[in-house]
Amino acid sequence: MQQIPVKTDEHLRELIDYKDISFPLETWDDLYTSFPDYTLNCHWHDAFEFGTVVKGELDFYTEETCLRMKKGDCIFVNCNVLHMAKQVNPGEPAEMIGVGFPPSLFPDGSIFHKYFQPVMNMQLQGFCTEASDLHGINIARFIEDICRIPDDVYGYELQALSLSSRLWLETLAYISEKNHSFLIKETPPHHGAMVRQMISYIQEHFAESITIRDLTEHAHISRSECFRSFHRYTGKKPMEYINEYRLLQAAGLLRETNLSISEIGSFCGFCSSSYFGKLFREKYGISPLGYRKGLLPTFDCP
């Protein structure tokens, strides 16, 4: 089954489509072999996010930190933190199930100020628990239990709210021990905003000629800071990220349109058909024409 990557606005904020806006809780089951380049794209949201790996291995990025996650490991991502994930081994399918909800799922007032606001105000990106960690075992169990509730069963909201409360209590217990390695926001908040600006610029202008100077002027930063920020948040150099994004767009056009190979290369911002073909073969191990003929698994484009 193919999956569409996370839908975001121009600021990389996820456009979460809750089944019931009056009960904003989302569950998901992400099979990474069905994502473009085995990657869940960069995004952020105002919801707390919990996930547990049920198959394979993932590299999970939160702002400037990358964590290797294995089966049974859990991740917590705080509100408004830029994050993404990628399958480690293309030949070994990775799968993660998850739960997300904003603080507004729970009543405002003393409950919010006592149990949620302190975590939101911490310099905390999130944390990762290993499969052997007792708190991690409980967190994984609560995630699985929430995901198993049929959303059309009578009392779904009450069951999900009860389990989400227990999930959050387990999270607070983990945090309160203060002897774990948290993912601390070591860089100023505006650094993440700069990366969001540059990635948004790339997504909007990928069909055009993009230079490092374009990115630095758009984000109002130096060339050296541009390179440092990209590597910190994506693990890639700016031009490497740009070309990979262009190749993902090209793969979608090869599958979904009748445009010629040269037209697709030009549309996606490549200066020549030969250069487009060279990068495409390096990325996918096959020519654009071979890809169009279905010789590789196809992915949906972001």
Q: Per-residue pLDDT for 297 more than 60? A: no
**Secondary structure (3-state) at 223:** helix
Nearest residue to 142 (alpha-carbon basis) of 48, 236, 37: 48
On whether residue 151 sits in a domain, the answer given is yes
Q: Based on the fold, state whether residues 162 and 254 are members of the same structural domain.
A: no
For residue 77, the surrounding DSSP H or E stretch is strand 74-77
CB 57 within 8 A of CB 105: no
Q: Which CATH number covers residue 283?
A: 1.10.10.60
Q: Which range, of 5-9, 218-222, 298-302, averages the lowest pLDDT? A: 298-302
pLDDT band at 1 (very low <50, low <70, confident <90, very high): very low
Helical ranges in the chain per DSSP H: 110-111, 117-121, 134-148, 156-176, 189-205, 212-219, 223-234, 238-256, 261-267, 273-284, 288-292
252: number of Cβ within 10 Å: 18
| The domain boundary residue, chosen from 147, 169, 184 | 184
Query: What is the pLDDT, as a whole number, of residue 189?
Result: 53
Please write the tens of the pLDDT for every residue from 36-67: 778 888 888 889 999 999 999 999 988 768 89
Q: Based on the fold, state whether residues 154 and 194 are members of the same structural domain.
A: no
CB 15 within 8 A of CB 9: yes
On whether residue 19 sits in a domain, the answer given is no
Q: Which range, of 207-216, 229-238, 270-279, averages the lowest pLDDT? A: 229-238
Q: Based on the fold, state whether residues 124 and 231 are members of the same structural domain.
A: no
Q: Based on the fold, state whether residues 139 and 194 are members of the same structural domain.
A: no
- Rounded average pLDDT over 220-248: 85
On whether residue 253 sits in a domain, the answer given is yes
Query: What is the pLDDT, as a whole number, of residue 251?
Result: 86
Q: Based on the fold, state whether residues 171 and 225 are members of the same structural domain.
A: no
Q: Which CATH number covers residue 151?
A: 2.60.120.280
User: Is residue 179 left, alpha or beta, with left meaning phi > 0 and alpha meaning psi from -120 to 50?
Assistant: alpha
Q: Give residue 228's identity as a one-letter amino acid code.
A: R
C-alpha–C-alpha distance, residues 257 and 203, integer Å: 20
Helical ranges in 58-211 per DSSP H: 110-111, 117-121, 134-148, 156-176, 189-205
pLDDT band at 72 (very low <50, low <70, confident <90, very high): very high
On whether residue 300 sits in a domain, the answer given is no
162 vs 177, higher pLDDT: 162
Which residues, listed in sequence order, are joined to residue 8 by a DSSP beta bridge? 14
Q: Based on the fold, state whether residues 31 and 52 are members of the same structural domain.
A: yes
Please write the tens of the pLDDT for every residue from 110-128: 888 889 988 988 878 899 9
Q: Based on the fold, state whether residues 52 and 157 are members of the same structural domain.
A: yes
pTM of the model: 0.72
260: number of Cβ within 10 Å: 11
E-strand spans in 10-71? 26-31, 39-43, 48-55, 58-62, 65-69
**Mean pLDDT for all residues in the chain:** 86
Q: Based on the fold, state whether residues 180 and 194 are members of the same structural domain.
A: no
Q: How many CA atoms lie within 13 A of 149 on its CB side?
A: 23
Q: Based on the fold, state whether residues 31 and 177 are members of the same structural domain.
A: yes
Contacts of 17 by beta carbon, 8 Å cutoff, 6+ apart: 7
Q: Based on the fold, state whether residues 171 and 31 are members of the same structural domain.
A: yes
Q: Give residue 203's identity as a one-letter amino acid code.
A: Q
Nearest residue to 79 (alpha-carbon basis) of 164, 14, 163: 14
Q: Based on the fold, state whether residues 47 and 159 are members of the same structural domain.
A: yes
Domain span at residue 47 reads 26-184
Nearest residue to 248 (alpha-carbon basis) of 40, 15, 22: 40
Q: Based on the fold, state whether residues 224 and 163 are members of the same structural domain.
A: no
| The domain boundary residue, chosen from 135, 159, 184 | 184
**Secondary structure (3-state) at 75:** strand
Lay out the sheet containing 26-31: strands in order across: 26-31, 95-101, 48-55, 74-77, 124-129, 183-184
Domain count, the chain: 2
Q: Which range, of 11-25, 188-202, 244-258, averages the lowest pLDDT? A: 188-202
C-alpha–C-alpha distance, residues 278 and 181, integer Å: 42
On whether residue 281 sits in a domain, the answer given is yes
Q: Per-residue pLDDT for 4 more than 60? A: no
